[in-house]
Structure 1
Amino acid sequence: MKKSHPPIHQIEIRLAELSQLFNSMDPTPFHHRDLDTEAERFLESWALEFPQDSHFRIIVHIEEMPQEDPAALVATAIHNHFEYKSLLAKRNLRVLLLEGRTSLLIGLGFLGLCLLGADLLSSIATNTFLKILKESLLIGGWVAMWRPLQIFLYEWWPIVRRSRIYRNLGRANVHVTPVKAQQ
């Protein structure tokens, strides 16, 4: 069976000048600078619409082209920025999973104590107050499992998806072209 290649999606961004691509508050050289928030948000929003295994071609149209060809500079800056964001997403995932494991241990311990307490109360629960306390212990124990279940069922996979999208943006084929004058 022939393995198909992931699709390549094209994202185009139009700038009046090259400096619009970079964060003006960041004093580091271009290839290490953060992308402008709006430019980053634009690229991310387009990329997140596609499957996580997609590859990308980014075309940057610049109205006022600099004297020297900025293609290598722009490609390096975009690659560095999104590789860094992928790394941050992976770190966030590790922290989230550590929090999940810790929450799971705490939740299971608390659930065990609540179930033990409810079991003890069931043998002596003759009045309404003790029956309410028993049920409260059961409910409280299961509510303590809410956070670990939320982490392990729902919260981890959007981070993995973003990390893969960032990684693929960090490997995107980047082209820089001048905007042709309108006639």
Structure 2
Amino acid sequence: MVPVTHIPVDVRNVDQLFASFDPSPFHEHSLNSTAAQYIASQAWYAPRSATFVIELTINGRPAPAKAVQQLKAVLGDHFARMAANEAQNFRKLIRTGLISLAIGLFVLAICTALSRGVDNMPIPDGWREGIRDGISMFGWVANWRPAQILFYDWWPVRRSRNLYRRLTHAGVVAGSSKRGQADPENDAPIDSMPIESGPT
């Protein structure tokens, strides 16, 4: 059974969820960056196989159907754009890593040849070893950046891309009434919640 992660979103007014200025001529609304960051940060820690359901409430009460439908349409468009942007970043990162690797290996090959040539030079042994080791070290340092990209940097971008793709298909429902609940965190409106940095 696919796990479902419920993300509660409580606002004082549904317009808080949407950006007040949208430079794009193709979308009537864009999701507010604070709301998007909050939703993404909550979804980040969910199981990777989970689907998402946004539970929308206004002042602790279930949101009307119009607000639910409006958020669902904007939510899908917003995270689809973010997923496309992260997919582009992922391709650029891998391309940069491969180009850097080719350059690094070329530099390493040259440095290896030079370090071997140093062995045949008529210089004192101490100097010979120092120069040879320095050239070899330079060759390996040239491969530090591609190693960082291809071993470490790509997976957070890929995970963010996949997360945004899943959020594109998130369901939006009217949340249950929060009147009488004792947990102040559940009742806090979205604009007063501490927002984490989110997936980067």
Both structures adopt the same fold (TM-score exceeding 0.5)? yes
What residue ranges of structure 2 are gaps of 5+ in the alignment? Answer: 181-200
Aligned equivalent of 1:115: 112
RMSD over aligned CA atoms reads 2.5
Residue identity matched to 1:131: E
Identity %: 29
TM-score (norm 1): 0.86
- Partner of 1:52 in structure 2? 48
Name 2:103's counterpart in structure 1.
Answer: 106
Structure 1 residue aligned with 2:132: 134
**Which whole-Å CA distance do the structure 1 matches of 2:131 and 2:56 have between them?**
65
Distance in 2, Cα, partners of 1:58 & 1:71: 9
Counterparts in 2 of 1:180 and 1:45: CA distance versus 1, 3 Å: closer
CA drift at 1:31: 5.6
Shift of 1:168: 0.7
Judged with a 3 Å threshold, the aligned counterparts in structure 2 of structure 1 residues 41 and 30 are, in CA distance, closer, same or farther, namely farther
TM value normalised by structure 2: 0.80
- Larger displacement relative to structure 2 (84-93 or 119-128): 119-128
Contact 1:11/1:58 (8 A) holds in 2 = yes
The answer to whether structure 1 residue 155 and structure 2 residue 153 are counterparts is: yes
CA distance in 2, matches of 1:29, 1:118: 59
Structure 1: unaligned runs, 5 residues or longer: none
Rounded Cα–Cα distance in structure 2 between residues aligned with 1:135 and 1:101: 26
SS at match of 1:124: coil
SS at match of 1:167: helix
Residue number among 81, 85, 88 corresponding to 2:82 in the alignment: 85
Match of 1:34 in 2: 30
AA paired with 1:9? T
2: CA distance between counterparts of 1:70 and 1:177?
12
